[in-house]
Amino acid sequence: MFPIKLIILSLLAFSLTSVHAFLSWADMLEMKNGEIIECVIVLESMSDMKVEVPIGKISIPKNTVAKISRYSKGKNDALIEKWRKAKIAHKQKATRESTYIRPKEGEHLIHYKSKWLTMEEYTKIKEKLREKKEEHLRMKEEEFQEQLLQKERVRLKEETIETIEQGRKRRSKVANEILDGDEWLISQSTNFILFFNEDKIPPSLKKIEKVSELFFDKLRGDLNLKKYFSFDEKIEVYLIQDNQLWEKMLKETSQEKNIFAFSNHYKREIFLDITIKEEHFIPNFAHELSHIFLKEFTITNFSKKHFIPLWLNKGFANYEGALFDYSLPKKDLINAIYKNYYIKLDELLCLYILPKDNHKRKLFYAEAASLVDFMLTTHGRKRFNKFITTLIQKYYEEEKHPDKLTVKKVRKILLSTIKETFLADYYAGYSSFEEAWLRYVTA
């Protein structure tokens, strides 16, 4: 049996010239090569036959035909109808393509997909196609970026789990409890590891990453530490966005209410409430980082037993963080000095706990920060380093317990510090030093 291969003949540019083709009976020629030809036999001779097909009349040698079959009436009618419709469709298409539509005056017509279009119509179609293509490309790009983001999240999650487990032993209890209580991700820089909630990526994360390193460099410079100084382990910063969690942390660590940051100096951990405005929590971060730096400075140069005088600890942090909410505006500080109700220098150097009175506490912060500012601005970082190094040692030699400091003792400490350092070239004694500081503040 021959394999059937139905020839689909082109309907383009054909015409049925013989009415006989539509009136005669259709035949099916089974060729010896396996092809099937639907046609109407018009004329036969001994050697060949003429047949009518959709493209016209053709001759077929008889020796190439294996069998001739007659169609049934129904099949014959269907074939004839098919040819008739094809002829009509071909004529209509030829008419459309050959018909010339005279454009209006000044109008240019464009033939596009079998239609004549005005320039405006053509432009709109092209614009829609362009928009569709751009939308497709945009969606593809978004899909690609989402895939990259997902891969980065997986990598970051694995890195976070590893970091949490590696540092578990050295962390404080509150830090470990925080990390166990929620899903976290990390962002690492040269000197910091920032922890943030996986479901609430902080909008200001990039800003915090940037300013953290800037503050690190500034503190390293202000304490005159080596250019490439860094801690043996990175400082961990916890970015808290849950008010209930923050209140719980303050309570568990016995912190004051209504603060937005606190730190564990020895563990080198900083906890930040970032639900407040950026312009507030950034200075708080600098403030707490200053405490860690000053503590490390003291331990490195001396020991854990050496304490940092309260005025230096708070003053340096307030100077670096510029926390004006904690202190008085400069004009109020100047007014206090002129009216002689400021905290005198010997009392300032002697305090070991913050004043309970809110106004006096703000005055303390303002004066302590101004004293640090005075030393750094007037004498520079290198000499400031020498000053506080000598001062911390003198405090320890005079009194190992800050709560037992007296006005007499701190006067002695400052006087001996002046005499044994560069300050001797600038100040005759305790009083001249205090006067110079007050002049600087009120200038």
- 107 within domain boundaries: no
- 392 within domain boundaries: yes
Q: Residues 288, 311: one domain?
A: no
Q: Residues 345, 403: one domain?
A: yes
**pLDDT tens profile 227-243:** 788 888 999 999 999 99
Q: Which span out of 1-5, 42-46, 48-52, 315-319 was modeled with the highest average pLDDT? A: 315-319
Give the C-alpha separation, 118 to 121, whole Å: 5
Q: Residues 242, 122: one domain?
A: no
Q: Residues 155, 187: one domain?
A: no
Q: Which span out of 43-47, 85-89, 209-213 was modeled with the highest average pLDDT? A: 209-213
Q: Residues 230, 277: one domain?
A: yes
Which of 345, 348, 350 shows the shortest CA–CA distance to 402?
350
Task: Show which of 293, 316, 338 is a domain's final residue.
Answer: 293
- Residues in CB range of 9: below 8 A, 6 or more apart: 53, 54, 55
Q: Residues 414, 443: one domain?
A: yes
- 104 within domain boundaries: no
Q: Residues 255, 227: one domain?
A: yes
Share of the chain above pLDDT 90, in %: 44
Structural domain boundaries, residue 36? 5-98
Question: 3-class DSSP state for residue 263?
Answer: strand
**pLDDT tens profile 32-46:** 998 888 888 888 888
Rounded mean pLDDT, 207-219: 92
Average pLDDT of the chain is 84
Distances (CA, A) of 402 to 312, 348, 409, 410: 13, 13, 11, 11
Task: Show which of 272, 293, 314 is a domain's final residue.
Answer: 293
CB 72 within 8 A of CB 19: no
Least confident among 97-111, 217-231, 390-404, 424-438: 97-111
Query: What's the pLDDT band for 3 if we cut at 50, 70, 90?
Result: very low
The phi and psi torsions of 258 (rounded to 5 degrees) equal 60, 30
Query: What's the pLDDT band for 348 if we cut at 50, 70, 90?
Result: very high
Q: Residues 223, 260: one domain?
A: yes
Rounded mean pLDDT, 189-206: 88
CB 13 within 8 A of CB 90: yes
Q: Would you state the torsion angle of the CA atoms of residues 262, 263, 264, 266, taken in this order, to the nearest 10 degrees? A: -150
Query: What's the pLDDT band for 99 if we cut at 50, 70, 90?
Result: very low
Q: Residues 53, 82: one domain?
A: yes
Q: Residues 278, 184: one domain?
A: yes
The neighbour count for residue 165, using CB atoms within 10 Å, is 10
- 165 within domain boundaries: no
Residue 133 has pLDDT above 50, yes or no: yes
Query: What's the pLDDT band for 24 if we cut at 50, 70, 90?
Result: low
Query: What's the pLDDT band for 107 if we cut at 50, 70, 90?
Result: low
pLDDT of residue 340: 93
Least confident among 4-8, 24-28, 55-59, 351-355: 4-8
What are 390's two structure tokens?
A: 């000598």
- Residues in CB range of 442: below 8 A, 6 or more apart: 334, 337, 338
Which of 197, 280, 269 shows the shortest CA–CA distance to 239?
197
- 395 within domain boundaries: yes
Chain Cα centroid distance, residue 118: 48
- 106 within domain boundaries: no
Query: What's the pLDDT band for 273 if we cut at 50, 70, 90?
Result: very high
| Total count of domains within the chain | 4
Kind of pairing, strands 235-240 and 192-197? parallel
pLDDT of residue 23: 43
Task: Show which of 251, 271, 293 is a domain's final residue.
Answer: 293
Rounded mean pLDDT, 162-187: 90
Q: What is the CATH number of the domain that holds 93?
A: 2.30.30.100
**pLDDT tens profile 366-404:** 999 999 999 999 999 999 999 999 999 999 999 888 888
Rounded mean pLDDT, 160-168: 90
Rounded mean pLDDT, 111-131: 84
Q: Residues 87, 13: one domain?
A: yes
**When comparing pLDDT for 24 and 160, which is higher?**
160
Q: Residues 281, 315: one domain?
A: no
pLDDT of residue 315: 93
Give the C-alpha separation, 317 to 284, whole Å: 9
- 44 within domain boundaries: yes
Least confident among 37-41, 130-134, 326-330: 326-330
Q: What is the CATH number of the domain that holds 254?
A: 3.40.30.160
- 166 within domain boundaries: no
pLDDT of residue 227: 79
Residue 85 has pLDDT above 50, yes or no: yes
